[in-house]
């Protein structure tokens, strides 16, 4: 049995309500075989394919644009399949239900089509992006900040963090602190050497510059 962390996940990725377009997203390991069974065609990576998703009785559910992003070149770092269909709540739920049903169907080798497929928890796609090193912690938090932003300034601030600006600043500060620490340790480790690695005023000056 797959652990919660390793199980493939699925969710409606667009907000609840009525709209022209709705997106169902799946993420997991080795989704290509499932994607082919679901769409009845081989999907070329990162290309849009217009396909009709049919239910167990071969009746059409919706005509969608299917896009397959193989790992690691995806948002989560895993295989990702996006189904971009019509934005009605019922049709999107039918797509999700059909995917969950299809995942449990056995293949000739007696294995399920996509073992363990389950509904994603809120924020789990971004969580997996963080765990798979596609986003750092600041960038992952910026995703939520961007979604919750109420002003243009908040949007721009979150956008900069999402691009890695905040993380780069933190990394630069961390490197500067490490440099000062190394100089101080050199003075403590080699007091008998007639070498001034760093003076007290220099330490104070460098630390004050980091605070600025």
Backbone phi, then psi, for 200, in 5-degree steps? -60, -40
Q: 179-200 pLDDT, tens per residue?
A: 777 777 777 776 666 555 566 6
Give all domains of the chain, ordered by start, each with its CATH number: 9-131 (3.30.1360.120), 135-212 (1.20.120.430)
Strand, coil or helix: what is 52?
Answer: strand
Closest alpha carbon to 100 in 112, 87, 109: 112
Residue 199: the pLDDT is 66
Answer whether 53's CB lies under 8 Å from 95's CB. yes
Looking at residue 91, what DSSP letter applies? Answer: H
Q: Kindly list the strands in the beta sheet with 118-119, ordered across the sheet, starting from the edge strand earlier in the chain.
A: 48-54, 60-69, 79-87, 19-28, 9-12, 118-119
Q: 87-114 pLDDT, tens per residue?
A: 999 999 999 999 999 999 987 665 668 9
Q: How far apart are CA 110 and CA 88, in angstroms?
A: 35
What is the DSSP secondary-structure string of 93-156?
HHHHHHHHHHHTSB-TTS-BSSTT-EEPPTTHHHHHHHHTTSS-HHHHHHHHHHHH--SHHHHH
pLDDT at 129 over 80: yes
What residues form DSSP beta bridges with 52?
63
Please state whether the predicted TM-score (pTM) of the whole model is above 0.85. Answer: no
Residue 210: the pLDDT is 67
CA 119 to each of CA 11, 28, 56, 114, 202: distance values in angstroms, whole numbers, following the listed order: 6, 12, 20, 13, 56
What is the DSSP secondary-structure string of 132-144?
TTSS-HHHHHHHH
């Amino acid at each position: 049995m797959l652990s919660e962390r390793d199980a493939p996940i699925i969710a409606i990725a667009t907000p609840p309500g009525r709209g022209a377009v709705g997106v169902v997203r799946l993420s997991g390991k080795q989704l290509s075989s499932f994607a082919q069974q679901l769409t009845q065609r081989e999907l070329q990576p990162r290309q849009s394919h217009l396909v009709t998703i049919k239910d167990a009785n071969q009746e059409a559910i919706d005509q969608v644009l299917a896009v397959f992003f193989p790992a690691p070149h995806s948002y989560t770092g895993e295989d990702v399949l996006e189904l971009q269909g019509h934005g009605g709540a019922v049709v999107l739920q039918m797509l999700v239900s059909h995917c969950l049903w299809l995942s449990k169907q056995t293949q000739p080798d007696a294995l399920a089509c996509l073992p363990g497929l389950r509904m994603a928890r809120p924020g789990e796609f971004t969580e997996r992006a963080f765990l798979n090193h596609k986003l750092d912690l600041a960038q992952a938090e910026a995703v939520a900040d961007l979604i919750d932003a109420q002003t243009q300034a908040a949007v721009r601030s979150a956008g900069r963090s999402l691009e890695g600006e905040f993380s780069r600043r933190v990394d630069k500060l961390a490197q500067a602190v490490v440099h000062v620490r190394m100089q101080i340790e050199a003075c403590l480790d080699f007091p008998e050497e007639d070498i001034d690695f760093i003076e007290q005023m220099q330490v104070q000056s460098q630390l004050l510059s980091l605070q600025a």
